Amino acid sequence: LSFDKRMYDQDLRGSMAYAKALVQSKILTLEEGELMAAGLFQVRDEWNSDRFVEKPGDEDIHTANERRLTEIIGSVGGKLHTGRSRNDQVAMDTRLWTVEHERLILSEMAALLQAGAEHAEKHVDILMAGYTHLQPAQPIRYSHWCMSHMAPLIRDAQRLMELIPRTNVCPLGSGALAGNAFGVDREFLAKELGFEGGVTSNSLDAVCDRDFIVEFLQWSTLMHTHMSQFAEDVIITNLLRGVVIDDAYATGSSLMPQKKNPDALELIRGKAGIALGRATGFTATLKGLPRAYNKDLQEDKQLLFSAVDTARDCIAIMTGVLATMMPQEANLKKALCPEMLATDLADYLVRKQGVPFRDTHHISGAAVRLAEEQNIPLDELTLEQLQSIDGRFQADVMEVWDYEMSVERKNVIGGTSRSSVTKQIQDCMAFASKLNVTYGSK
């Protein structure tokens, strides 16, 4: 009860629906059904107002609610469990709770994606160094870098949306394992409880199926992996003085007064490993279980609740980081170096002279070597020096040494030109808006 009482509302809603089904099956009279409904509403009101009194005999949320119902309405309360088992009851509670929180997470991811897109839009004109292998590679837009981290989060949201239909299926009416002996209308129960996917197809499977929890734990592992990558990128960029993290998401040192540690981002980075442990551990728990319900399955809820809480906390923190983080344009530009334009130098001969790129790659490499030998930046090579490497270089080759032009040439879908990044931002905002419309009020 200490942890599964979080599902009190789902449990009571299930009991209200089941009481109606028992009236339909003539197990309860109409008057008994109405009495039971009134009692269940009172129990819910006590939970909602923190007036529910837990007692030592309350093993879990199911027994606690039924015990209190019987105290309120008398022996009629004992009829509620007719044909129902805690096996199908807990499966129903957990599915309802999971769907509701998956929808809640999606609404919060909408806010995160919106914050990321707005941050990128606000700073769309800032250039920075792009890296591969943590080595300077090519110039990109700061906003392109931001959107590179929104792209996997969009995929995470899409994956979470795909989990809901498989979770949103009603197991109630499966009994302990063999089904319900009193002819309750399972399709009525599914409709009454909002299970849009209908009913489970096999009662043995229904009471022990925890695929939907494994899927959520695996989903959270990948989502936290993406958040961890984002956190690490921001930590590195902050180290290079390319961004300033707001004081709300950083702390000082107990010894060194000059320190400003990105603690919030470090904590987000650390959660990815914990998420993987939850998913791996629970999958290992399931692998040896026979049909149908076994007590091992009771381990699911603490892992599920923790995974949901952690996901929501990390999403909220990252949303705040994005909303308050400030890029340092001058410092980002300092990281740009002419050698990042070596590919542009190679591309010049492809465009102007139709030289195969494999050849121009070697030609540009020779220019890089010459600059290193002369101990000068690549863009300080003279036209004569470039022509000594390849006579097809013309005077306009000197226009290659322009970071803005380099970025703007990458104007394909997904590229780092201003128009390409603007399209990414618009698409992200549109997706966030769709998430908010679909899940924001739920």
Largest CA distance in the chain: 101
Three-state SS string over 348-403 comes to: HHHHHHCCCHHHHHHHHHHHHHHHHHHCCCHHHCCHHHHHHHCCCCCHHHHHHCCH
Q: Which two tokens stand for residue 254?
A: 């107990």
Q: Any long-range contacts for 250-258 (C-beta under 8 Å, 24+ apart)?
A: none
CB 199 within 8 A of CB 289: no
CB 160 within 8 A of CB 112: no
- State whether residue 172 is helix, strand or coil: coil
Q: Are strands 135-141 and 127-132 parallel, antiparallel or unpaired?
A: antiparallel
Catalytic residue among 133, 201, 254, 441: 133
127 secondary structure, DSSP code? E
- Angle in degrees, CA 10, 15, 19, rounded to 5: 150
The yes-or-no answer on residue 49 being catalytic is no
Q: Are strands 135-141 and 243-244 parallel, antiparallel or unpaired?
A: unpaired
- Angle in degrees, CA 114, 119, 120, rounded to 5: 100
Q: Which two tokens stand for residue 56?
A: 């030592």
DSSP3 helix / strand / coil % (the chain, rounded to 5):
70, 5, 25
The yes-or-no answer on residue 253 being catalytic is yes
- State whether residue 58 is helix, strand or coil: coil
**CA end-to-end distance (rounded Å), the chain:** 26
136 secondary structure, DSSP code? E
CB 100 within 8 A of CB 442: yes
φ, ψ dihedrals at 177, nearest 5°: -165, -25
Q: Which two tokens stand for residue 347?
A: 């591309």
Query: Which are the catalytic amino acids?
Result: 133, 253
